[in-house]
Structure 1
Amino acid sequence: MTTETTTEKPPVSVAIITDGGKVLMARRRAAEGEISWVFPGGAIEAGESPEQAAVREVDEETGLKVESVKVLGDRVHPKSKVPMHYVAVRLVGGEARVADDEELDAIMWATHAELPGLVPYGLFGPVQEYLDDVLPH
């Protein structure tokens, strides 16, 4: 009989950044299965709230300054099995760019219509509902 050691995956917080009728998406340098285009984000560090982690990760990955608006929800991601927190943020300043080229190889401002092509397995319900409300389609 074989036994598998499972390590808990650290929880991740991602930021839903909308501006000018689009949402910021980042393409991971190394896809994880079907997961290639993602919302900017990363592991929550000790002592951080999901909101603080989302704001910090956006700055580290894209160079944008944002502030938390509200937590949209959390779940264990059905594909990666990572505990996820989804945070709506407001753009405060900066120009979107790939600031962390070890993790990301591209970023884009996506329209509502482009999302199904970037995330073919669908978005987390509360995130989709939020984007349905704030993005023109």
Structure 2
Amino acid sequence: MTTRTTTDKPGISAAIIVADGKVLMVRRRVSEGELSWQFPAGGIEADETPEEAAVRETLEETGLKVEATALIGQRVHPKTGREMSYTACRVIDGEAHVADADELDAVAWAALGEIPDLVPYPLFDRVQAYLDEVLPR
């Protein structure tokens, strides 16, 4: 009998989407541990790059059409043990809304100072550094 570990699962790609001085956050219908608010994210499919997955997941979850501008960084998530990729994206078209009601129950544009109220632990340092650089204080 073989036991699958979390690292055998596909990596997760998160989209870091900034517009009008705020970052897009989505609230999962079912919390993942302590986390209910997070960046749009989902599994990377076999034929995708992390950047392509971030763009696809954003469209599927929020109806927002974005393009990847830079891979911010990658890590093994300390809480989930999953390989994570974080991609900076810019909005091309659309208005963010709950497009996948099975997965999400809310979307919100959060200012830099509001993120600690939504996410119960510190962001990945590279994501935090990126947001510190691009969002007003």
For the superposition of Structure 1 and Structure 2, which TM-score range results when normalised by the shorter chain? Answer: over 0.9
Question: 2:105 and 2:82 mapped to 1: Cα distance?
Answer: 22
Question: 1:71 and 1:104 mapped to 2: Cα distance?
Answer: 24
| Runs of 4+, deviation exceeding 6 Å | none
Give the equivalent residue in structure 1 for 2:92: 92
Give the equivalent residue in structure 2 for 1:135: 135
Q: CA RMSD in A?
A: 1.2
Q: Which amino acid aligns with 2:3?
A: T
Asked if residue 57 in structure 1 is aligned to residue 87 in structure 2, the reply is no
Question: 1:80 and 1:37 mapped to 2: Cα distance?
Answer: 15
Give the equivalent residue in structure 2 for 1:80: 80
Give the equivalent residue in structure 2 for 1:35: 35
Question: 2:4 and 2:46 mapped to 1: Cα distance?
Answer: 21
Q: Which amino acid aligns with 2:135?
A: L
Q: Structure 1 residues 115, 53: closer, same or farther in 2, change over 3 A?
A: same
Q: Secondary structure at the match of 1:99?
A: coil
Q: Secondary structure at the match of 1:86?
A: strand
Q: Which amino acid aligns with 1:102?
A: D
Question: 1:77 and 1:129 mapped to 2: Cα distance?
Answer: 17
TM-score (norm 2): 0.95
The aligned length equals 135
Same amino acid, percent of matched pairs:
60
| Structure 2: runs of 5 or more not aligned | none
Q: Secondary structure at the match of 1:23?
A: strand
